[in-house]
Chain A
Amino acid sequence: DAKTTQPTSMDCAEGRAANLPCNHSTISGNEYVYWYRQIHSQGPQYIIHGLKNNETNEMASLIITEDRKSSTLILPHATLRDTAVYYCIVRVGGFGNEKLTFGTGTRLTIIP
């Protein structure tokens, strides 16, 4: 699976949009971009994923650049409960490739 690069840490004011970048310049055409987050001492929580189109769900939006070499996770109105480590992972979709390789992630701190 392709390697990802994320900033080590970020701060965001409560109520503002949190924009978390991820570089995946070696991504292959059949690899999806997945985002998970891990709140302290809990298992990772799925947020969103996409292939090449922008995606939105009730938690977040995912913006993938046209060349697919980078993406941004957007939490539209950050709350204190969004403080967590956010992992950007790229992997081949479909069955038989469920392995997820976690990098170091971005530690997002929401500031009151």
Chain B
Amino acid sequence: GAVVSQHPSWVICKSGTSVKIECRSLDFQATTMFWYRQFPKQSLMLMATSNEGSKATYEQGVEKDKFLINHASLTLSTLTVTSAHPEDSSFYICSARDRAGWYTEAFFGQGTRLTVV
């Protein structure tokens, strides 16, 4: 199957700072990527849909000014957690689907564990 890579795999940051997480589709182009958040012992919750060349679409209750999403190319989307606080500590996961339709399923990155201290 196709490969989606996230970087970094984990990050620790100080409260008040910003953190950027990258999501890349390595062997396919993705017009749309998705960002999820997962708290311990809970399921994945969709945060936003990242659209190449346009603004992201955020799910209800997700602050767009806090979670900045940029989808600069067909293979890269970034999520920036601005002014991070301890309650933002979570497992962040991106997914992407093949624009060309070679694969009909979505593929997920390995996730980024964010710890805000």
- Interface of A with B (CB < 8 Å)? 34, 36, 38, 41-46, 49, 87, 93, 95, 98-105
Smallest CB gap from A48: residue in B: B105
Instruction: Kindly name the residue among A42, A46, A95, A98 whose own CB sees the greatest number of chain B CB atoms within 10 A.
Output: A98
Chain A residues lying within 8 Å of B6, measured Cβ to Cβ, are 43
B49 cross-chain contacts in A, Cβ below 8 A:
99
Q: Which residues of A contact B110 (CB under 8 A)?
A: 42-43
Please, how many angstroms separate the alpha-carbon atoms of A78 and B109 in the complex? 24
B34 engages A95 (CB within 8 Å): no
**Residues of B at under 8 Å CB distance from A?**
1, 4, 6, 32, 34, 36, 43-46, 49, 91, 93, 95, 97, 101, 104-111, 113
Q: Are A46 and B46 in contact (CB under 8 A)?
A: no
A95 to B30, CA, bound (A): 11
The reply to whether A102 and B43 contact each other, CB–CB distance below 8 Å, is yes
| Cα(A9)–Cα(B108), bound, Å | 23
Contact A46 B106 (CB under 8 A): yes
Q: Is the CB of A99 within 8 A of B34?
A: yes
B104 in contact with A44 (CB, 8 Å): no
Residue of B nearest to A47 (CB): B105
Which single member of A38, A43, A99, A100 contacts B109 (CB below 8 Å)?
A43
Say yes or no: B44 contacts A44, CB within 8 Å. Answer: yes
* A88 CB to nearest chain B CB (Å): 12
